[in-house]
Homo-oligomer: A and B are copies of this chain.
């Protein structure tokens, strides 16, 4: 790891955090950050800095970072833009290792000189600088929520990097609502110093991060991004939502983050060459990320669909063909195996139709067969709600099959129905089995896992 990247450990695993511009007024950014740090349970030292205050949220407050008694690894800076250089100088003299500049009013409104100035101060003192113009950062293992976004982020294995502030912060709340766990959230803002390539390299070595998901409008140094991405994607999947795909969108992006969006075709080619998985929207990106962060890579190309509804099976079949998943052509002995879990009018072909009469035991049996047969490498389990089955009991049965199988294999699940189906899907999620609201979204997520596994060499050529 490059030395300047290794320094990011002070950002994500700081022993102490100073909040420069801490505030006593709720709803102010400088208050919310201190509150999130405290209430999310950061275990290191918390030092609010504000010349007017004695105490904030129970923490002793300092007039300047220079007055803080112990060492400061990370400083979160939320003061007016014009004061940032002075504050950075103090951080440098204090020996701060990394700074995150929340403050806006730099490159994004044309103040390029001021932005250059703060970068040069940071470099002079060997500090890495995140931002400016950001909403903060989050890292689950160190219980660090140094952001003014929602507090109760769910811990997980997806590192989320966002160039957009408002959207990024809104997505923090959205991931909580959707039950999506994150290892890290990084608001990169103007990317004046720390940029996507640094974070890719850092998170590629982070044991808590299994997938890296980036919302970007543009990169400053495309060549560097590609070089790093090429290496990282062989090790961990990288998903990118690149906004400004269209001409109009690129113009909008330019006026938003000042991103020189460049031709979308160039980005698209660069992503393909470097193994980056490009998602078209955040729903798709997180759909993929959940599968990629939870499931093992497949060892071959053969997928089966197990369903109780023919229609759902047909929809999933269409989606498999579109997304390049190969449905296993069933052999006689396999069909005999699956016939045991269906009535005579069921279909043991692929899609395997257990029929509307299937209960949780039928699913358990069929899914366990699929998990234990070495000719099958991935499973799409679909359930259309019927009056005879309890979706929560079905979830338990699927979890039992998954946990008792001889090996873990990629398994994605879709239940269609009402609130009872949602409860069942939440159970599956908690057990580490990704679920999706439609057959097509389940297939798309599984197909992306296969795509990455091919790229990273997990699927061997000897498999058909």
Contact = CB atoms under 8 A, between A and B. Distances in A.
Contact of A313 (B171, B252, B312): B252
Nearest to A104: B345
A109 B345 CA distance: 8
Interface residues of A, number: 78
A215 B416 CA distance: 15
A311 B215 contact: yes
A386 interface: yes
A166 B256 contact: no
A317 B440 CA distance: 25
Nearest to A353: B256
Contacts of A251: 317
A10 to B, nearest CB: 27
Contacts of A168: 311
B318 A418 contact: no
Nearest to A164: B311
Interface stretch (A122-130, A172-180, A191-199, A294-302): A172-180
Interface stretch (A12-20, A206-214, A279-287, A448-456): A279-287
Given A311-B256, A353-B256, A177 B248 contact: no
B421 A173 contact: yes
Contact of A327 (B148, B167, B248, B417): B248
A309 B148 CA distance: 16
A387 B32 contact: yes
Interface string A243-261: 1111111011101110000
A147 to B, nearest CB: 11
Nearest to A415: B170
Contact of A314 (B256, B308, B309, B421): B256
A243 B351 CA distance: 14
Contact of A356 (B166, B177, B249, B283): B166
Interface in A294-334: 308-315, 317-322, 327
A165 interface: yes
A313 B248 CA distance: 11
A314 B253 contact: yes
B166 A252 contact: no
A113 interface: no
A165 B162 CA distance: 43
A385 interface: yes
Contacts of A439: 281
A212 B252 CA distance: 36
Interface string A57-68: 000000000000
A422 interface: yes
- Identify the interface centre among A282, A314, A383: most chain B CB within 10 Å of its CB: A314
Contacts of A252: 310, 313-314, 317, 351
Contact of A281 (B148, B165, B217, B315): B315
A245 to B, nearest CB: 5
A169 interface: yes
A349 interface: yes
Interface in A414-459: 416-422, 437-441
Interface of A: 27, 32, 109, 148, 150, 162-171, 173-174, 176-177, 215, 217, 241, 243-249, 251-253, 255-257, 280-283, 308-315, 317-322, 327, 345, 347, 349, 351, 353, 356, 383-388, 416-422, 437-441
